[in-house]
Amino acid sequence: MHFKYLTPNTIPQAMALLARHKTRATVMAGGTDLVVKMRSRAIDPAYVVDLSNIPGLDFIDFNPRDGLNIGALASIRALETSTLVGKQYPVLQSAAHQLASPAIRNMATLGGNLCNASPSADMAPGLIALAAKARIAGPEGETFMPLEEFFSGPGKTALKAGQVLVGIQVPASQASMQAVYLKHARSSIELAVVGVAAGVILDSDGRSCKDVRIVLGAVAPTPMRARKAEAALLGKKLDDKAIVEAAEIAAGEARPISDVRASADYRTEMVRVFTGRALRVAAGIAS
């Protein structure tokens, strides 16, 4: 492993370094994914651009107009322990708590979890359920992109050359969504075999489904919405029969592979089970 370690103090400096060294440079945040890949020689960058010296990128902030803003360098542990996140968007606190171990959560950042673009990234399903947007800085300025469009394949994102993820924004309107993230893994510190986030907004009658999002992790090349299952629930009374049907549809939408963690068939069955469970909790008919 021979590389030059670069420590910009601002985002423009980081972008200038990325522009200068192009594909020979890699961004680093907490390093918990990157260093593993470098040590196994899966990647061999000539320059590592460490963002962690850039001040002001680890904030967690809520205001009623913009909603929740999280800096890309906010650690998973900070999300797990934030009373603000726990109060406004508890699904994100729960997802953070289910990611790896406390030691990893202290180093790992939200931006790194998303930019690593693992199909099983624990922070992605809950954020997509909450209609989060990625805040991206690049040579042409800052742009926002729906997070569900941010992932383009295993290990691949929509970030263009020289762009950096600087934060995540969760709309204030989603604070009324009852959302849960359930992770099914072989042990508490392993990657998900299946992860399911379900978010529901009930109508004023408290029974029928005004809005719903079902997001599946680890069962497709990217985190994916189970849109047919969502459509089957919209406007319906959210009872056990409707949930059983939607869970079945979601299982049919998943596109899992078999790997060391589980077979494709097992994953499909777990999508059915965990989608049903997540929807029941989100709908308030189970705990």
Ligand X SMILES: Cc1cc2nc3c(=O)[nH]c(=O)nc-3n(C[C@H](O)[C@H](O)[C@H](O)COP(=O)(O)OP(=O)(O)OC[C@H]3O[C@@H](n4cnc5c(N)ncnc54)[C@H](O)[C@@H]3O)c2cc1C
**Cβ 52 to ligand X shortest distance, Å:** 8
Q: Which residues contact 2 (CB under 8 A, 6 or more apart)?
A: 46
**Edge-to-edge strand ranges of the sheet holding 164-170:** 60-63, 67-71, 164-170, 133-138, 141-146
Which position among 11, 34, 38, 250 is part of the footprint of ligand X (CB under 6 A)? 34
Instruction: Specify burial of residue 33 (Cβ count, 10 A radius: 0-12, 13-18, 19+).
Output: buried
Tokens matching residue 87: 């109060």
- What's at 75, amino acid-wise? S
Nearer to ligand X, 102 or 235 (CB): 102
Residue from 10, 12, 19, 36 touching ligand X (CB under 6 A): that is 36
Closest to ligand X by CB, 125 or 276: 125
Nearest distance from residue 284's CB to ligand X, in Å? 27
Q: Coil, helix or strand for 193?
A: coil
x-or-dash pattern for ligand X, window 193-232, by CB under 6 A?
Answer: ----------------------------------------
Residue 162: HSE in the Cβ half-sphere, 13 Å Cα cutoff = 14
| Subset of 86-145 contacting ligand X (CB under 6 A) | 99-100, 104, 107-109, 111-113, 115-116, 121-122
The structure tokens listed for 1 are 């492993």
CB-nearer residue toward ligand X: 163 or 247: 163
CA dist 73 and 270 (Å) reads: 32
Question: How is residue 205 written in tokens?
Answer: 């009658």
Q: How many angstroms separate the CA atoms of 136 and 27, rounded?
A: 14
Nearer to ligand X, 34 or 229 (CB): 34
SS3 percent helix, strand, coil of the chain, rounded to 5, is 40, 25, 35
Considering the complex, state which of residue 89 and residue 150 has its C-beta at the smaller distance from ligand X: 150
**Residue whose CB is less far from ligand X, 99 or 131:** 99
**Residue with smallest beta-carbon separation from ligand X:** 112
Answer yes or no whether residue 175 interacts with ligand X by CB under 6 A.
no
List residues binding ligand X (CB under 6 A): 26-34, 36, 51, 72, 76, 99-100, 104, 107-109, 111-113, 115-116, 121-122, 159, 164-165, 189, 191
